[in-house]
Amino acid sequence: MSELQHPKARGFELVADVYERARPAYPAETVAWLAGQLDLRPGRTVLDLGAGTGKLTRSLVETGARVLALEPGAEMRAQLSAAVPQAEPVAAGAESIPLADGSVDAATAAQSFHWFRLDEALPEIHRVLRPGGGLGLVWNERDQDDPFQRNLTELLQPFTSVGRRRMRERGWLEALERSALFGPLQEHTGGFADELDGGALVERVGTISFVALAEERERERLEDELRALADAAGGVVRFAYRTQAFATFSAG
């Protein structure tokens, strides 16, 4: 769904503070939809998979549910614990979840599901969910109907192959359908925009994996172009997103 913004690209665990500072949260409307679909409330337990620095986790705790935040990276977990002390961090990946069978009511994955080794992760997620438990997925993706985002896409073309990216983005859906462990998807689409100055724009775009993995000279050239875009817009750009969320339920 979204552009691939893997938090551990280019040793990104070492700069988890940049990830925490630069990456956006999720709109309240989308979180409310997910919470309703997954029946998140006091007395329920939700497992946030690939929680990173807790961008979704902090909204999950507001539902009153018990929140377990699964994150393999030590630096990410440290940021998460500082930002969301109400959540319970779990040092593991989605492919090997150190929880008992049927121990959670729901699971979520924000901006992370497409990075899991899904042939391993899906059976694990299914195992720890109680019968009929829900799985919620959410991605923020740049809104290509927005003129600034279309300009930015042109700047990013040298950094990535769109064809390869789209194939990777479809892979999660194919894996989910192939597993037969979950039922049909329900979908919700929302959107929002952040206002970013030149420095914040550079940091935001720098968290995209194919940018983080690029050669230093290419990144420096892109940073100059991004700052020029911000200057041309009067110092602040409107960075528009489309947010897509999905919910599905354990089949048996």
Q: Find tokens 């479809």 and name the residue.
A: 170
Q: Give the pLDDT score at 15.
A: 62
Residue 206, judged by CB atoms within 10 A of its CB (0-12, 13-18, 19+), counts as buried
Q: What is the mean predicted confidence (pLDDT) over 147-158?
A: 91
Picking from 204, 211, 190, the residue whose alpha carbon sits closest to that of residue 239 is 204
Residue 71 domain boundaries: 9-141+161-191+243-249
- β-pairing, 45-49 with 104-110? parallel
On whether residue 237 sits in a domain, the answer given is no
Q: Residue 65: is its pLDDT beyond 50? A: yes
On whether residue 220 sits in a domain, the answer given is no
Grade residue 208 by pLDDT with cuts at 50, 70 and 90: confident
On whether residue 132 sits in a domain, the answer given is yes
Q: Give the pLDDT score at 21.
A: 82
Q: Give the pLDDT score at 7.
A: 44
Q: Residue 227: is its pLDDT beyond 70? A: yes
On whether residue 196 sits in a domain, the answer given is no
Q: Give the pLDDT score at 30.
A: 97
On whether residue 78 sits in a domain, the answer given is yes
| Domain total in the chain | 1
Structure tokens at 50: 């690939």
Lowest-confidence region among 133-137, 160-164, 203-207: 160-164
On whether residue 99 sits in a domain, the answer given is yes
* CA separation for the pair 237, 207 (Å, rounded): 17
Picking from 98, 91, 105, 10, the residue whose alpha carbon sits closest to that of residue 63 is 105
On whether residue 236 sits in a domain, the answer given is no
* CA separation for the pair 119, 128 (Å, rounded): 15
**Residue scoring higher pLDDT (167 or 242):** 242
Grade residue 216 by pLDDT with cuts at 50, 70 and 90: confident
Q: Give the pLDDT score at 161.
A: 54
On whether residue 73 sits in a domain, the answer given is yes
pTM: 0.87
Q: Residue 9: is its pLDDT beyond 80? A: no
**Residue scoring higher pLDDT (51 or 213):** 51
**Residue scoring higher pLDDT (162 or 107):** 107
Bridge partners, 194 (sequence order) = 239
| CATH number for 39 | 3.40.50.150
Centre a 10 Å sphere on the Cβ of residue 148 and count the other Cβ atoms it contains: 17
Structure tokens at 124: 């694990």
E-state strands within the chain = 45-49, 66-70, 88-90, 104-110, 129-142, 186-197, 236-249
